[in-house]
Amino acid sequence: MPAITTNDLKNGITLELDGVLFQVVEFQHVKPGKGGAFVRSKIRNLRNGAVIDRTFNAGVRVEQAILDRKDMQFLYRDGDEYVFMDLESYDQQHVSPVALGDAADYMVENSVAIIAFYNGEIVTVEIPASVELTITDTEPGIQGDRVSGATKPATLETGKVVKVPLFINVGDKVKVDTRSGDYITRV
């Protein structure tokens, strides 16, 4: 496993600290007027999704974890688990909801995701920044109710509830930001 220094940290790098995998979410090099330089960072635990603050002295060596990433297609749900198929070898993998995290709210059959493996174990699932989903339930828009910027709750085909403008109806396809869960536009 390659060792890097804290000066080489970048967003998205995966580290192994004390036997646990972390992904760098944010970092900042700090050089105070008095004392040594240090790196202040926010790192996400890939096992449970918890984000913690961690401060490293500048130049300290840390272990970088190399993840294998594969494009895989979501096939179906099997109980609590999600079944994905490798697009190259056609092998099927069962993925737990913990590894999926928030991506589970946006997974529909036949959608493609990038699955990251570490030592043969699935650690994360990466999906596109936005997805197109169909509205399955929402209140109908009332004629004449056109307040600018007004929203209403709507249920997507995956079961996730998002806020949408009043003109959106059942059956409409909408584009949703997967990072924030916000409505972007009608498709």
Domain borders along the chain are 3-64, 68-126, 130-186
Query: Do 130-186 and 3-64 have the same topology in CATH?
Result: no
Q: What is the C-alpha to C-alpha distance for residues 117 and 123, in angstroms, rounded to an integer?
A: 6
pLDDT tens figures, 109-121: 999 999 988 888 8
CATH architecture label of 68-126: Beta Barrel (2.40)
pLDDT higher than threshold 80 for residue 172: yes
- Go through the chain and tell me how many residues it has: 187
Mean pLDDT value across residues 32-57: 88
Look at residue 1 in the predicted model and tell me its pLDDT.
Answer: 60
Of the candidate CATH numbers 2.30.30.30, 1.10.1740.110, 3.40.50.720, 3.40.50.300, the domain formed by 3-64 belongs to 2.30.30.30
pLDDT higher than threshold 70 for residue 146: no
What would the two tokens of residue 120 be?
């043969």
CATH fold for domain 130-186: OB fold (Dihydrolipoamide Acetyltransferase, E2P) (2.40.50)
Q: What angle do CA 76, 77, 79 make, to 5 degrees?
A: 155
DSSP sequence for the chain: --EEEGGG--TT-EEEETTEEEEEEEEEEE--SSS--EEEEEEEETTT--EEEEEEETT-EEEEPPPEEEEEEEEEEETTEEEEEETTT--EEEE-HHHHGGGGGG--TT-EEEEEEETTEEEEEE--SEEEEEEEEEPPPPTT---TT-EEEEEETTS-EEEEETT--TT-EEEEETTT--EEEE-
Q: Mean pLDDT highest for which of 43-47, 74-78, 143-147? A: 74-78
Look at residue 85 in the predicted model and tell me its pLDDT.
Answer: 93
Q: Among residues of the chain, what percentage have pLDDT more than 70?
A: 95
pLDDT higher than threshold 90 for residue 98: no
